[in-house]
Amino acid sequence: MRALHHIGYGDPAQVVKLVTLPDPVPGPGEIVVRMEAAAIHIADIKNFTGAREGGEKSLPRIPGYEGIGRITAVGPNVSQFKVGDRVFPWWGAGTFAEHVCTTAEKALPAPEGDAVQLSLMLVNGMTAVILLEDFRPLKAGDWLVQNGANSNCGRYLIVLAKERGIRTCNIVRRPEVVDELKALGADAVIFDSDDPIEFAKRVRLATHDAPVTLGLDMIAGAASGRMARCVSDGGIVVNYGFMSGQPSQIPFHEMFQKDITFVGMSAGRGMAKRNMAQLRDTYAKLAAMIAKGQLHAAIAGTYTLDHAADAFGHAAKTGAERDGKVILLPNG
């Protein structure tokens, strides 16, 4: 089979190579999955470049956090799946390959539907759920504000919040995405401002001066401070991204005078709070919503393994240069 091998740290075009490996053979409790689609995440790019602190892996390795495919072989003691079943391999199975050998115990059943859309379910879907559920007990009518609204996770969050009656104030920088987010169910879409006073004013106007107790920050840098300014006294700002490349900056007076809490979010920690039955239930709901088109990601492009360098270059771009997610199609 063909697979991508991460062999060093630096430019992904140089340190990720297309190689030919023996076809995998499942051992006890294992399945082999022929991959249909695999999502590329910014974490993959940071792993390749070495920019992800504490993220160095034993090399060489097959990268890829998530994807979807069909089982081509089952090992001994596998009773929950059969050849032909469609599945999501568990996190970090090494999905940038034509075939993946993975444990059957944690693999998740996958519905029929668009493989490209479904390939994004495992990471971004669970991230959106954790952001919505774990930091503030929001009820119908409550507001949250997010500055990653046009990201795939942000788009999922708009839909999931709308389903629960939770209102979202969504920060964008490009006018062409406003109507798209409103069509998803965004209650308010406003333009960002580098002036924290103006930024907070825009949020207050959009939310009609209602309390905003949860701010979701995907950008870091000065954006973290702007989020702290616009949440209500006693509110919480959750940082889950680093798009600015800068450390989060929150003025002292926001923390001191307004009793703002600032925390970091880890999907791993959020998942550790849930047992496997709860995780499976959440994933089954997310997968069904994606298959029905209720959750839909913008797709910037799809690439085969032969053009992985182009795919990684595309995935590393931001804003209008990469309007959506980049997906690998390991089997073409």
Per-residue pLDDT 10s for the chain (332 aa) are 999 999 999 999 999 999 999 999 999 999 999 999 999 999 999 999 987 655 556 899 999 999 999 999 999 999 999 999 999 999 999 999 999 999 999 999 999 999 999 999 999 999 999 999 999 999 999 999 999 999 999 999 999 999 999 999 999 999 999 999 999 999 999 999 999 999 999 999 999 999 999 999 999 999 999 999 999 999 999 999 988 889 999 988 888 788 999 999 999 999 999 999 999 999 999 999 999 999 999 999 999 999 999 999 999 988 778 889 999 999 98
- What pLDDT sits at residue 59? 92
Asked if the structure places residue 198 within a domain, the reply is yes
Angle, to 10 degrees, between the axis of helix 152-163 and the axis of helix 126-133? 50
- What pLDDT sits at residue 52? 66
- Last residue within a domain, chosen from 268, 285, 318: 268
Give the whole-angstrom CA distance, residue 158 versus residue 184: 7
Alpha-helical segments (H) within the chain: 12-15, 42-49, 115-118, 126-133, 152-163, 178-184, 196-206, 222-230, 252-258, 267-272, 276-291, 308-315
Considering the domain architecture, whether residues 139 and 258 belong to the same structural domain is answered as yes
Considering the domain architecture, whether residues 16 and 37 belong to the same structural domain is answered as yes
- What pLDDT sits at residue 3? 98
Which CB contacts under 8 angstroms, 24+ apart, belong to 282-287?
282/126, 282/129, 283/88, 283/108, 283/121, 283/122, 283/125, 283/126, 284/108, 284/109, 286/121, 286/125, 286/126, 286/129, 287/88, 287/108, 287/109, 287/110, 287/111, 287/118, 287/121
The count of other CB atoms within 10 Å of the CB of residue 114 is 16
- Coil, strand or helix at 300: strand
Considering the domain architecture, whether residues 234 and 222 belong to the same structural domain is answered as yes
Give the whole-angstrom CA distance, residue 262 versus residue 238: 6
Considering the domain architecture, whether residues 204 and 188 belong to the same structural domain is answered as yes
Residue 179 sits in a domain whose CATH number is 3.40.50.720
Asked if the structure places residue 276 within a domain, the reply is no
- What pLDDT sits at residue 115? 98
Structural element, H or E, at residue 304: strand 299-304
Considering the domain architecture, whether residues 99 and 134 belong to the same structural domain is answered as no
Which position has the token pair 């990653």?
148
- Last residue within a domain, chosen from 221, 251, 268: 268
- What pLDDT sits at residue 320? 77
Considering the domain architecture, whether residues 97 and 173 belong to the same structural domain is answered as no
- What pLDDT sits at residue 169? 98
Asked if the structure places residue 69 within a domain, the reply is yes
Q: Taking a C-beta distance cutoff of 8 angstroms, is the pair 97, 1 a contact? A: yes
Asked if the structure places residue 27 within a domain, the reply is yes
Asked if the structure places residue 275 within a domain, the reply is no
Asked if the structure places residue 290 within a domain, the reply is no
Considering the domain architecture, whether residues 77 and 131 belong to the same structural domain is answered as no
Considering the domain architecture, whether residues 132 and 213 belong to the same structural domain is answered as yes
Which DSSP symbol is given to 200?
A: H
**pTM for this model (two decimals):** 0.93
The number of distinct structural domains making up the chain is: 2
* Half-sphere CA count of 207, side-chain side, radius 13 A: 28
Residue 23 sits in a domain whose CATH number is 3.90.180.10
Domain that holds residue 230: 124-268
Give the whole-angstrom CA distance, residue 220 versus residue 227: 10
Which backbone phi and psi does 144 adopt, to 5 degrees? Answer: -130, 160
CA–chain centroid gap for 104, Å, is 23
Give the whole-angstrom CA distance, residue 115 versus residue 110: 10
Considering the domain architecture, whether residues 31 and 69 belong to the same structural domain is answered as yes
Asked if the structure places residue 47 within a domain, the reply is yes
- What pLDDT sits at residue 252? 84
- What pLDDT sits at residue 27? 97
Considering the domain architecture, whether residues 8 and 95 belong to the same structural domain is answered as yes
Asked if the structure places residue 263 within a domain, the reply is yes
Relative to beta strand 67-74, strand 86-88 is: antiparallel
Which tokens belong to 127?
């991230």
* Half-sphere CA count of 66, side-chain side, radius 13 A: 24
Considering the domain architecture, whether residues 78 and 199 belong to the same structural domain is answered as no
- Last residue within a domain, chosen from 253, 268, 283: 268
- What pLDDT sits at residue 51? 76
Residues in the chain: 332
Angle, to 10 degrees, between the axis of helix 222-230 and the axis of helix 196-206? 40
Considering the domain architecture, whether residues 194 and 320 belong to the same structural domain is answered as no
